[in-house]
Chains A and B, each alone.
Chain A
Amino acid sequence: MTTVTEAGPAAPAGPAHPLDQRRPLGDRSFQILALACGLLVLVILVLIAVSTSQQASSWFTTEGWGIFKNNWNPAANTYGALAFIYGTAITAIIALIMAVPVSVGIALLLTEVVPYRWSRPIVYVVDLLAVVPSVVWGLWGILVFAPWLNTIYAHIGSAVTGIWVLGPLFGPPTSGASFFTCGIILAFMITPIVTSLSREVIATVPAIDKEGAYALGATRLEMIRGAVWPHSQGGVVGAVLLGMGRAMGETIAAALVIGSSPAITSHLFAPGYNMPAVIANEFGEAFGLQRAALMGIGVLLFVITIIVNVIARGVVERSARRKRGT
C-alpha cells in the first residue's frame, strides 16, 4: 500500500496530521463534572446563608437589636434570644472543661505511653463513643442519667447553699435536666473528635525531638512539656476549637436534657436552654414571627460555627505549615 521513501512512508487517505486528535469530549466533560461537584460545596454554603437569612428577616427587622434581649416569650410575641446564646456558651464551656483534659490525656496516652499493639483497641473504644448517635445519648440522658444526677445535684446543692462562690454556681434550684447535665453529655460526645485530632497532631511531632529530650535524661512528662507540646500546641488548640464548634451545634442531646427553660442564671444545676435546643423543640408548632425568630437563631448559630471552624482550621493549617517549614 505504501511506498517507502527516505523521509517516511506515504500517507493513505485521512486527516493530514498523524497525531491529530482533539481532546476527547468525554475527558473534558468529566473534568467539568468533577469541578461542578466541587463547586457544589460553595453553592450549598451560600444557599444556606441566603435562604435561612431570608426566612428570618422578619425577626431581624421587627426586633432589631432586641434579638439580644432576654425576653423570649411567644405569648407576648417578643423574641429576644439572649438566654439561648448564654446557654450555648455555658454548656460549651462546661463540655470543654471536662472533655479537653480527658481527650488530650488519651491522645498523649496513645502516642507516648501505650505500645502500638495496644493502641488499636483503645482507638476502637474511643471511636465507639463517636458511633453512638446523639439521640441515643439524649434518650439515656433524660431517662437514666438525669434522674440519677438529680439526687447528686440535690445533695451538692443543699451542701453549698450560701457559700461564697460555690453557692451561686452549684446551689439550688437543681434539676436533673440542666446546664450541667447537658455539658456532661456534650463532653462525652466531643471527646472522640478532640482525641482523634489531637492524636493526629501529636503523632506528627518528629521522633528526633522526642529522642533528643529522652537522651538528655528527661522523664516522660518533661519530654512532653519540652518536645511534644511546643510542636503540637497549635494543632491541639485547633482540635479544641473544633470540639467547641461541635458542642455548640449539638442539638438533640441538648434538646432532651437541658431542661427547656430559657433562663440566664449562674446556677449550673438549674434547667436552661440553648440555641439548637429551642429550635428543635419549638419549631414544630411555631409560625409567623416565632418561626422567623427560630430561623434567626439558626442563622446566628450558623455564623458562629462557621467562624469557629474557619479559625480552627486556620490554626491547624498554620501550625502544620510552620512544622513543615514552609
Chain B
Amino acid sequence: MEQSEQESVTGRQVPESATRQDVPLPEPAALQAREAAAQQEAWGSGEHVFDVKNTSVYYGSFRAVTDVSLAIYEHEITAFIGPSGCGKTTVLRSLNRMNDLVVGARVEGDVRYRGAPLYGKDVSPIAVRRRIGMVFQKPNPFPKSIYDNIAYGPRINGQHNKKKLDEIVERSLRQAALWDEVKDRLNKSGLGLSGGQAQRLCIARTLAVEPDVVLMDEPCSALDPIATGAIEDLMQEIKSKYTIVIVTHNMQQATRVSDRTAFYSVLVNPTSDTRTGVLVEYAPTAQLFEDPQDDRTKAYVTGRMG
C-alpha cells in the first residue's frame, strides 16, 4: 500500500488533455467519493483513470473474458500479460470501445473512465477515442505523407492552421523520438519507413491529438530488438504526461517498463468445455514477479523466466 502512495504523489495534477478542450469533467458526487475511498483501500491510492468492475466481454454468445475488476492508475505503465486467448487484448480494446467495431461484441459490467461510465447511454465512442488512443500490433501508417499521418488527428479535430499543425507535427515526432530521422522528408509517404520507424510514426500520430491515455496492443511484437528498445525508452519518457496500458507477450518487457502488471489466464470449464479469460492477479510489477500470490501466476511467471 505504501508503494502506491509514493507513486501517486506526483500524479495529482489534472492532465492537460482533460482541461484542454470543449469536454468538461464529471461532477464529484458524494457517491463517487465514497466509492473511491473504498477503492483506495482495495488498490492503493492515486488517480484512477479506469475503474473496471465485474466486467465480461462477449463476442456473440462466446464469453471472451469473465468478471474482470481492476483499476488503472494515472501516469503509470500498466502491463497486461498472459497466455494466448486469455482475453488481455479484449479487455484493452474495451477501454477505448474499439470492440464496438466487432459485430456481436457486447460489454457487460461497469467500466468507468475518470468516474464516468464508458458505455453509458449517451456516450459517444468518437469522443472516447479522442481521449484514449491506441497503437496496434502491426504498424499501420496511412498511405499518406508522414506529415499528413501526424496531422490527420488534429485535422479531424478541427485544427487547420498550418503553423499550429507544423508545431504539432514536430512536437509529436520529437516525443516519439522520430523527428531527427524524418524531419527532412515529412512529405514522403509514411509507407516507406522501416518497421520500427513506422511504429514510432503511429505512436506520434496517436500523441498528436494529446490523448489522456495511450493503449498499446503488443506494439513491439512485429519489431526487431533495437526498435523494441527504442519504443520502450519512449514509453518511459512519455509516462509523465500520459497513462499507458500495454498488452505484451514478452514478460521481460513487462518487467522492464511497467509499474503494475495484470496477469490473465484461461479458465476452462471441464463440464461444458468452454474457455474464457479471467484476471488472475494484479499487483505492482516487482511484487507480481518476485512474490506472486496465485499459483497460476507463479507457474506462468517462473516457467517463462526459468
Whether chain B is bound by chain A comes out as: yes
Chain A residues in the interface with B (C-beta under 8 A): 1-2, 4-24
In terms of DSSP, what is the predominant structure of the interface of chain A? loop
Give B248 Cβ to nearest chain A Cβ, in Å. 28
CB contact between B120 and one of A8, A9, A19 (< 8 Å): that residue: A19
Question: Which residues from chain B contact A4 at a C-beta distance below 8 Å?
Answer: 12-14
A19-B27 contact, Cβ under 8 Å, with A2-B14, A6-B37, A8-B47: no
Q: Are A18 and B19 in contact (CB under 8 A)?
A: no
Q: Are B33 and A17 in contact (CB under 8 A)?
A: no
A5-B124 contact, Cβ under 8 Å, with A13-B24, A15-B24, A19-B116: no
Closest to B15 in A: A9
- The total of interchain contacts (Cβ-Cβ below 8 angstroms) comes to 89
Question: Which residues from chain B contact A16 at a C-beta distance below 8 Å?
Answer: 24, 26-27
Q: Are B126 and A17 in contact (CB under 8 A)?
A: no
Question: Which residues from chain B contact A14 at a C-beta distance below 8 Å?
Answer: 22-24
Q: Are A8 and B126 in contact (CB under 8 A)?
A: no
Q: Are B19 and A2 in contact (CB under 8 A)?
A: yes
Best-surrounded residue of A10, A12, A13, A23 (most CB of chain B within 10 A)? A10
Residues 105-125 (chain B) with a chain A CB within 8 angstroms: 113-116, 118, 120, 122-124
CB contact between A2 and one of B23, B25, B45, B127 (< 8 Å): that residue: B25
Question: Which residues from chain B contact A22 at a C-beta distance below 8 Å?
Answer: 122, 124
Q: Are A8 and B28 in contact (CB under 8 A)?
A: yes
- Bound-complex Cα distance A55 to B123 (A): 54
- Bound-complex Cα distance A4 to B36 (A): 13
Closest to A4 in B: B12
- Bound-complex Cα distance A5 to B29 (A): 11
Give A235 Cβ to nearest chain B Cβ, in Å. 29
| 10 cross-chain CB contacts under 8 A | A8-B48, A8-B114, A9-B14, A11-B26, A11-B27, A17-B26, A18-B25, A19-B118, A21-B122, A21-B127
Q: Are B23 and A19 in contact (CB under 8 A)?
A: yes
Closest to B124 in A: A21
B18 adjacent to chain A (CB < 8 Å) = yes
- Bound-complex Cα distance A196 to B124 (A): 47
A20-B19 contact, Cβ under 8 Å, with A8-B47, A13-B24: no
B128 adjacent to chain A (CB < 8 Å) = yes
Q: Are A8 and B115 in contact (CB under 8 A)?
A: yes
CB contact between B26 and one of A8, A21, A23 (< 8 Å): that residue: A8
Question: Which residues from chain B contact A11 at a C-beta distance below 8 Å?
Answer: 24-28
Give A289 Cβ to nearest chain B Cβ, in Å. 56
Question: Which residues from chain A contact B37 at a C-beta distance below 8 Å?
Answer: 6
Question: Which residues from chain B contact A24 at a C-beta distance below 8 Å?
Answer: 126
Closest to A19 in B: B123
A7-B28 contact, Cβ under 8 Å, with A17-B122, A18-B23: yes
Q: Are B28 and A5 in contact (CB under 8 A)?
A: yes
Q: Are B33 and A5 in contact (CB under 8 A)?
A: yes
- Bound-complex Cα distance A207 to B29 (A): 66
B294 adjacent to chain A (CB < 8 Å) = no
B40 adjacent to chain A (CB < 8 Å) = yes
Question: Which residues from chain A contact B115 at a C-beta distance below 8 Å?
Answer: 7-8
Closest to B14 in A: A9
The 9 closest A-B pairs by CB, nearest first: A14-B24, A21-B124, A7-B32, A7-B36, A19-B123, A6-B36, A9-B14, A11-B25, A8-B115
Residues 29-60 (chain B) with a chain A CB within 8 angstroms: 29, 32-33, 35-37, 40, 45, 47-48
Q: Are A9 and B18 in contact (CB under 8 A)?
A: yes
Question: Which residues from chain A contact B23 at a C-beta distance below 8 Å?
Answer: 14, 18-19
Q: Are A20 and B123 in contact (CB under 8 A)?
A: yes
CB contact between A12 and one of B12, B24, B32, B35 (< 8 Å): that residue: B24
Q: Are A20 and B47 in contact (CB under 8 A)?
A: no
Closest to B37 in A: A6
CB contact between B28 and one of A10, A12, A23 (< 8 Å): that residue: A10
Question: Which residues from chain B contact A9 at a C-beta distance below 8 Å?
Answer: 14, 18-19, 25, 28
Q: Are A19 and B33 in contact (CB under 8 A)?
A: no
Question: Which residues from chain B contact A1 at a C-beta distance below 8 Å?
Answer: 19
CB contact between A18 and one of B29, B33, B36, B114 (< 8 Å): that residue: B114
Question: Which residues from chain B contact A15 at a C-beta distance below 8 Å?
Answer: 24
- Bound-complex Cα distance A11 to B22 (A): 12
- Bound-complex Cα distance A86 to B118 (A): 69
- Bound-complex Cα distance A7 to B37 (A): 8
- Bound-complex Cα distance A19 to B48 (A): 17
- Bound-complex Cα distance A8 to B39 (A): 13
